[in-house]
Amino acid sequence: MSGTHERDTDLKKELDATLHARRELGEEYDSALVESFLEKVDQRIDGAVERRVRRQLAEQQMASARNRQTSGDTDSWGERYGFGIVSLVLAVPLSAIGGGIANLSGLLIAWTGIVGVNVVQAVRVNPGLFQRRRKSNDKDHWED
C-alpha cells in the first residue's frame, strides 16, 4: 500500500506545481497547464493498468503451467505411442514363450495380458475413453 500512497503524494505534488505555475503564468495558460496535468494523470493510470494486466497475465500463465504439470505431463506423445510400440516389441518374445510352452492357450494368455496392459494404459491417459455416450434431444449432437 505504500506504493499507492507515494503515487498519490507524487500526484498531489504535480497538482501543486501546476497550480503554482498557473499563479505565476496567469489564466491564459490554464488550458495548457490542465492538459499537461491530465496527461500526467493519464500516464499514471496507463501505468497502473499495464501493471495490473501484466500481473494478471503472469498469474494466469502460472496457473496454466501448474495445470499442465499436474495433468498434461502424463499425456505426452512419447508416453502414448511409446508404450504401444514397446508392448508390440515385447509381444513377439512373449508370444513365442507362451506358444512354445502352452501352445494356443499360452499364446492367447500372452496376448490377453498384452491387450489388458494397453487398455489400462489407454484408460489412464484418457479417463473418459470407455464412457458410454448418450444421445441428446438434438438428433445431430452426441453428449458425453
Q: What is the pLDDT of residue 28?
A: 85
Q: How far is CA 132 from the centre of its chain?
A: 29
Claim: this prediction has a pTM higher than 0.85 = no
Residue 114 lies in a domain: yes
Mean pLDDT to the nearest integer, 50-73: 80
β-pair type (142-143, 134-135): antiparallel
Least confident of 34-38, 101-105, 112-116, 130-134: 130-134
Q: Is the pLDDT of residue 72 over 70?
A: no
Predicted confidence (pLDDT) at residue 40 exceeds the cutoff of 70? yes
Look at residue 136 and tell me if it is in a domain.
no
26 & 50 share domain: yes
pLDDT at res. 128: 79
User: Is residue 143 in some structural domain?
Assistant: no
Query: Is there a single domain that holds both residue 60 and residue 87?
Result: no
